[in-house]
Structure 1
Amino acid sequence: MKRVLFSMVLLFAASFTFAQEKNVKEAKSIANGVNPDFAKAEELINQALTNPETKDNAETWDVAGLIQRKRSEKEMENAYLRKPYDTLQVYNSALNMCKFYFKCDELAQIPNEKGKIKNKYRKPNSATILAERGNLINGGIQFFNLASQKEGDAANEDNKKALDFFATYIDIAINPMFEKENLLQTDTVLPQIAYYASLAAAKMEDYPSILKYAPYAQDDKEVGKYAMEFISTALKAEGDTVKWIASLKEGIQKYPEHSFFFGHLIDYYSNNNKYDEAMQFADDMLAKDSNNTFYLYVKGYLYHNMKEYDKAIEFYKKTIEVDSNYAEAYSNLGLIYCLQAQDFSEKATTDINDSKYKEDQATLRTFYEKAKPYYEKARELKPDQKDLWLNGLYRVYYNLQMGPEFEEIEKLM
C-alpha cells in the first residue's frame, strides 16, 4: 500500500512539473504568435517564475524576457503604423526584460553536473539589452519629470520608478554579460545617468542607493562635484563620521573650486572646537590659491569664531578686496564691529557723572559707525537675504539714534 501511495506522489509531482514546463512553452508560443495575447502569456509565465519546479530554470526567465521584448516590439509596430500605442509600456517592458534576462544569465552560468557552463542565452540577450538601453533612459526621465510635478508619497513613488530605470541602466555596465563591452569606460552617458539615479535617490533619502550609484558619476566634469556632494551627505546621514570627513577631503582635492566640501569640513572642525586643524586646512588651501575668496572668507570666519576679531576683520577685508560683491563678508564685518561694541559696553562706565562717560560713549558710537556701511552694503548686494543685514541695521540705527532709518527697518522686522 505504501509503495502504491509513493508511486502516486511521484506521478503527481511529475505531472505538476510537466504542467509548469508546458506553461513556459505555451507562453513562448503565444508571444511568438501573429496576434499575441500578452496578458495570457504573462499569466502563464508568472506562474512558472514562482513555481519551485521551474523558477530556477534559465529557460523560464528567458521566455519572460522574450514576452517583454515582444510587447515592446508590438507597441513600436503600432507607432510605425500610426496606430495608438503605449509609450510607458515600451519603457516598462524594456525594464522588465532586462531584469528577466539578468536572472536568465545568472542561472545559465551555473555549471552542469559535469562542471561545464553552456550558456546559449548570453549572446542574443546581451545584444537585445544593449539595443534597449535608450528606453531605460527615457523611462527614467519620464518618471523623474512626473515626480517633479508632485509632492509627498506620490512624488516618492515616481522617484522610485525613475531610480529603477536609471539604476538598471548602470547595472548593465557592471553585469558580467557585458564585460567585453567595457561600458564603464566607453559609455560617455553613464556618469550623467548615475547622477540622475543619485538625485532621484536623494529626493527619497535612499542613502544606500546613493552610495551605490553616485560613485559612477564622481569623475564627470559636469556633475562629478554634485555626485560627491550626494556621497558626503549620505555618509553623514548614515552616521559614518570617519568616511564622511574622508569624502569631504577627497571632494576638496578633486573639486577645490566647489565650496560645499571645504565649507562642511570647516563647519565640522569649528563645531567640534578643532580650530587648529581647521586653520591648518585653511592655510593649506590658501597656499594653493591665495586669492580664493571663499578660503579667505573661511579664515576670517574661523578667527571670528575664535573671537580674534582683529584678525577676522583683516581676512574679511581681504575677501572684499578680491571680490567687492561678497555680501557675507560685509555682513560679518558689520557683525564683528557690533560684537566689539557689545564687549566694550560691558567695560564702559554707565555713570554720566564719570569723567570717562563721554569718551566711552564716543568710542561705543565709533564701533556702530564702522558697522553701518558694511551692513548697508550687504543690504545693497542681497536685499532679499534679510538675515545678512536686517537685525544688524536695526541695532546700528538704534544705537546711532537714526530715527527715520530705524523706523523703516523696524517695519521690516
Structure 2
Amino acid sequence: MKRVLFSMILLIIASFAFAQEKNVKEAKKIANEVKPDFSKAEQLINEALTNPETKDNPETWDVAGFIQKRINEKEMENAYLKKPYDTLKVYNSVLNMYNYFLKCDELAQTPNEKGKVKNKYRKANAATMIAERSNLINGGIQYFNLDKNKEALSFFAAYVDASAHPIFEKENFVEKDTVLPQVAYYASLAAAKMENYPAVLKYAPFAKNDKEVGKYALEFMATAYKAQADTAKWVETLKEGIQKYPQHAFFFGHLIDYYSNTNKYGEAMQFADDMLNKDPNNTFYLYVKGYLYHNMKDYDKAIQFYKKTIEIDPKYAEAYSNLGLIYCLQAQDYASKTTADVNDPKYSKEQAKIKKVL
C-alpha cells in the first residue's frame, strides 16, 4: 500500500513538472506567432519562473527573455510602420530581457554531473543584449526626465552592473566603454535625488575619474558618507576630491569647514598653505586662509588675506563682506575702550578714529 501511494505521489510530481515544462514551450510558441498574445505568454512563463520544478532551469529564463525580446520587436515594428507604439514598453522590455537573460546565464554556468559547463545560451543572448544596450540608457533618460528616479536608477544601474557581468567578458566594457562613467554618474544622481546613499556609493566610483562628471560623482560620494555619519570616509573623499579637482571649491570648502568646526585650525591652516603653495593666486584659497584667521580672531592677518583676495579679484563679494565685518568688530572693540565723557580731551580724537574705520 505504501509503495502504491509513493508511486502515485511520484506520478503527481512528474505531471506537475511536465505541466510547467509544457508552459515554457507553449509560452515560447505563443511569442513566436505572427500576432502574439503576449499577456498569455507572460502569464505562462511567470508561473514557470516561480514553480520549484522549472525556476532553476536556464531554459525557463531564456524563454522569459525571449518573450521580452519579441515584445520589443513588435513595438519597433509598429514604429517602423508608423503605427502607434509604446516607447516605455520598448525600454522596459529591454530591461526585463536583460534581467532574464542574465539569470539564464547564471544558471547555465552551473557545472553538470561531470563537472563541465555547457552554456548554450551565452553567445546568442550576449549578442542580443549588446544590440539593445543603448536602450538601457534611453530608458533611464526617459524616466529621469519624468522625475521618476527609482525607475531611472533601475535602467542606469542595469547598464553599469551588466558591464562587469561574465556574459560580456570578451567585450571588457568596464575598461573600453567610454560612456560607462557618464551612465554611472546618472545612476548616482538619480540615487542622490532619492537619498539612496548605498546606491550612490555603489555607482559614483565608476564615474569619479571622468573629466566631465568626476568632480560631481565625488561630491555625491562625500555627501553620502556624511549622511551616513561616516566622518573618516567623508574627510577621505573630500581630500581625494581636492587632489583630483582642486578648482572645484566644494571639497576644499567643506574640508576647511570640518577643520574649523572641530577647532582643528592647525590642520586647516596646513592644508590651506599646501594648496596655496600649488596655486598662490587662487582667490578661493586666499579667501579661505583669511576666513581661518578670521575665526581664530587674528583679525590683522585675516584682513591681509581678504585684501589679497580682492586685489586679484575685485568682485569677490564674500571677501568684501568679511573685511567689512572685521572692521566693524574692530571699531566696536575700540569703542568699548574709549571714553564716553564728551569733556575728555581724548573724546573727539577717539570718535574721529571710530568714524574713519566705519
Shorter-chain TM-score above 0.5: yes
Q: How far does residue 134 in structure 1 lie from its aligned partner after superposition?
A: 1.4
CA distance in 2, matches of 1:333, 1:117: 73
Q: How many angstroms does 1:121 deviate by? A: 0.9
Identity of matched residues, %: 75
Tell me the amino acid that sits aligned with residue 318 of structure 2.
Answer: E
- Equivalence for 1:76: 76
- After the TM superposition, which of the residue ranges 339-348 and 297-306 deviates more from structure 2? 339-348
Q: Secondary structure at the match of 1:142?
A: helix
Aligned residues: 358
Q: CA deviation at 1:85?
A: 1.1
State the SS of the aligned residue for 1:181.
coil
Distance (Å, rounded) in 2 between the aligned partners of 1:343 and 1:57 = 82
TM-score by length of 1: 0.85
TM-aligned CA deviation for residue 110 of structure 1:
1.1
**Backbone CA RMSD of aligned residues:** 1.1
Shifted more, 343-352 versus 184-193: the winner is: 343-352
Give deviations 1:268-290, integer Å, cap 9, x for gaps.
00000000000000000000000
The within-5 A match list for 1:118-197 is: 118-147=118-147, 158-197=148-187
- Separation in structure 2 between the aligned mates of residue 269 and residue 45 of structure 1, nearest angstrom: 59
1:152-211 Cα distance to aligned partner (Å, 9 max, x none): xxxxxx100001111111112111111111112221111111111111111000101111
* Pick aligned residue for 1:294 from 276, 284, 302: 284
Secondary structure of residue in 2 paired with 1:33? coil
Is residue 17 of structure 2 the alignment partner of residue 17 of structure 1?
A: yes
Q: Give 1:317's aligned residue.
A: 307
Give the CA deviation at 1:17: 1.0
Report the counterpart of residue 260 of structure 1 in structure 2.
Answer: 250
Q: Which runs of 5+ in 2 are unaligned?
A: none
Find the aligned partners of 1:357 and 1:56 in 2 and give their Cα distance.
94
SS at match of 1:364: helix
Is 1:64 matched with 2:70? no
Name the SS of the counterpart of 2:222 in structure 1. helix
Unaligned runs of 5+ in 1: 148-157, 369-413
Aligned counterparts of 2:166 and 2:353: Cα–Cα separation in 1: 75
**Aligned with residue 339 of structure 2, among 346, 349, 361:** 349
Letter matched to residue 277 of structure 2: A
* 2:103 corresponding residue in structure 1: 103
2:202 is the counterpart of 1:216: no
Which amino acid letter does the alignment assign opposite residue 93 of structure 1? S
Aligned partner letter, 1:115: G
The one-letter code matched in structure 2 to 1:163 is: L
Alpha-carbon distance in 1 for matches of 2:276, 2:104 = 56
Structure 1 residue 358: Cα displacement: 2.5
Alpha-carbon deviation of 1:342? 2.1
Separation in 2 of the partners of 1:208 and 1:279? 33
Q: Which residue of 2 aligns with 1:201?
A: 191
Q: Secondary structure at the match of 2:329?
A: helix
For 1:130 and 1:223, locate their aligned partners in 2 and report how far apart those are by CA, in whole Å. 25
Q: Which residue of 2 aligns with 1:49?
A: 49
